[in-house]
Amino acid sequence: MDIGLFLEILGIDSTSSNEGPLADYLAEHLAVEGCSVQRLDGNLLFSWGDPQIVFCTHIDTVPPYIPPVVEKREDGQTIVRGRGTCDAKGQLFAMYNACLELAAKGYEGFGLLLVYGEETGSFGAKKFREQHPGGKYLIVGEPTDNKMVSASKGTKSFAVTVRGKSFHSGYPVYGASAVERFVDMVGSLRSVEFPMDPKLGETTWNIGRLSSDNPQNILSDLLTFKIYFRTTFASDDMVCRVMEGFNDEYITVEAFGGDTPAEYMTLDGFGTKTVAFGSDAPQLTNFQYRMLCGPGSILVAHTSSEYIRLDDIRQAVENYVKIFEILKDRI
């Protein structure tokens, strides 16, 4: 493996909505003899023959950009720190090296799909689904500890507006605080008992983008926030019903994105797990069978200490080659 290439890829800031420079670099530097390159809007498809088995990951990362650093640990492991190392440029690098190895063995009929905008709504995957017929098998790369994912939680996003009546905080009886209504709403939501799913476990949610511009001595007349659910097979529909039930003359709830929980193909001989994070896999329905696996741990993704072990990338390369060699006989 050319670690220098990995560091070059990591050295290009590709925070969501700024993937263009990295896409340009990849189109120029990853193409090799026997491989064709298609640019489909912001997506890239590298093909060796007619790709019915496609490796896929995303090129965007969450902010902020953190430059790469190579570190040799006391246990002898070499790790690379920095934004995108395990989500998902490590997967990109592993998949590309697997493709090179497959080509060196004389195989064809595979491809590498690199999409934009995964972190902000799978926009690249959705665009590719509209533009391309897809294929039979898709292997999506995400940090799964090199295990094959049997099922993943769904996601549901809502934008919420809470209205109140502004007034002097010394005389709250004459006004109505949007903040207090928000607190009441959260209290009601916390009391909801979403069913425990036998495969995916509990339903969780997180609030962000919370905003109320009132000074501390004036009742808030407007508060806005976004809430993001990780749903299960047992709770997916219920989450939508619960959130819709909060709509009244003071509260407006608008759904603005998400996907449903999904099950994925797995293969004998690989460890399996379920995951609580979303990916592009549910959007790429133009493939008959979808798999989800890759090096790295989701527990360090999106953090300031994000890293990946080079040995895990090497293992991923072996896994991807093995997956192809199993699947090629099923086409």
CATH class of 3-152+262-330: alpha beta
**Per-residue model confidence as pLDDT tens digits over 231-259:** 999 999 999 999 999 999 999 999 998 88
Residue pair 240/227 in contact (Cβ under 8 Å)? The answer is no
pLDDT (0 to 100) of residue 266? 98
Domain spans of the chain, in order of start: 3-152+262-330, 154-259
pTM of the model: 0.91
SS3 44: strand
What is the C-alpha separation between 227 and 250, in angstroms, rounded?
17
CA distances from 216 to 163, 167, 168, 195 (A): 17, 11, 10, 39
Q: What is the average per-residue pLDDT within 116-139? A: 96
Domain 154-259: which topology? Alpha-Beta Plaits (3.30.70)
Beta bridge partner(s), residue 80:
70, 308
**Per-residue model confidence as pLDDT tens digits over 41-79:** 999 999 999 999 999 999 999 999 999 999 999 999 999
**Per-residue model confidence as pLDDT tens digits over 69-113:** 999 999 999 999 999 999 999 999 999 999 999 999 999 999 999
Residue pair 141/57 in contact (Cβ under 8 Å)? The answer is yes
Top pLDDT among 191 and 278 is at: 191
